[in-house]
Amino acid sequence: MDPIPAFDEILAGARAGEAQAFERLWRAFHPALGRYFRVAAPDAAEDLASETWLQSARDIRRFRGDEHAFRRWLFTIARHRLLDHQRKQRRDKTDPVPHDSLPESADTADLVEERLSTAQALALIRTLPPAQAEAVALRVVAGLPVADVARLLGKRPGAVRVLTSRGLRALADHLERLRLRDPNHEDAST
């Protein structure tokens, strides 16, 4: 993830309540935030992203730090919103709404040729057990290092590494099964 030019100025503008500064922050971080929620809570991704942004806007005057700290701060808020949402779901006993079609028919040729869409990639990550999926999403989508993910998830860095590693292995197995199911897998593998 490329560093945001003049991040400090943008942050100062956002603290002063400038719409343009918030727009630039939103452009820089919203795609990652949205993708994280599309993995962790696809049924409420948009709502949770909005709540996260509103909370960050309300608290931005209290934030101190650089771009990396802001990313960590934003995703900490995001995870809190996610936990609230999951708690509410358990209380209301509502089943998650099915989201994007899972890539049961992911075209192996697309994978090889890297024409996989972001939505398909996120849907593939979502097939993992929730803890693994979240760890992978925070590493890959949010771009957070192990230490930050560990702090966010309340785990040790070693546990996060194990989660991620197992998640990637499971993803590899899943993709292999898809490839074998693909009638053109012989062609695709060549």
Partner 1 sequence: MPKHRDDRDPTEELLAGTLPSDATPAYDRVAAVLRAAGGPPSDSELAGAETAGIRLAAAARRSEGSTRRGMGMSGMWRGIRAKVPNVVLGVIIGMMVGGGAFAVAQTVGNHGGPNPRFHDARVCNLVDVDTLPGNWTHGDYVSAVEKKDPSKVREAAQSDCGKPNKGAKGNKGKGPKPEKSNEPEGKPTTPATKKPSPPPSPTPSPSETVTSSPSPEPSPTEPTPATTPSVPST
What does the alpha-carbon distance between residue 173 and residue 184 come to, in Å, rounded to a whole number?
A: 18
Q: Should residue 156 be labelled a site residue for partner 1 when binding is judged by CB under 8 A? A: no
Given 5, 6, 58, 156, the residue binding partner 1 (CB under 8 A): 58
Least separation, in Å, of the C-beta of 145 and partner 1?
A: 5
Least separation, in Å, of the C-beta of 66 and partner 1?
A: 12
CA-based nearest residue to 29, from 47, 64, 59, 56: 56
Given 44, 79, 82, 108, the residue binding partner 1 (CB under 8 A): 108
Query: How many chain residues bind partner 1 (CB under 8 A)?
Result: 58
Fill in the DSSP letter of residue 100. Answer: S
Q: Should residue 40 be labelled a site residue for partner 1 when binding is judged by CB under 8 A? A: no
Written as one string, the DSSP assignment of 126-179 is: HTS-HHHHHHHHHHHTS---HHHHHHHHTS-HHHHHHHHHHHHHHHHHHHHHHH
Count of CA atoms in the C-beta half-sphere (13 A) of 75? 31
Q: Should residue 141 be labelled a site residue for partner 1 when binding is judged by CB under 8 A? A: yes
Question: How is residue 156 written in tokens?
Answer: 């040790």
Q: Are 41 and 90 spatial neighbours (Cβ–Cβ below 8 Å)?
A: no
- Judged by CB under 8 A, the stretch of 60-68, 80-88, 94-102 that binds partner 1 is 60-68
* C-beta of 54 vs 83, nearer to partner 1: 54
Residues that bind partner 1 (CB under 8 A): 1, 14-15, 17-27, 30-31, 34-35, 53-54, 56-61, 68, 108, 111-112, 114, 116-118, 120-122, 124-125, 136-137, 139-141, 143, 145-146, 161, 164-165, 168, 171-173, 175-176, 179, 189
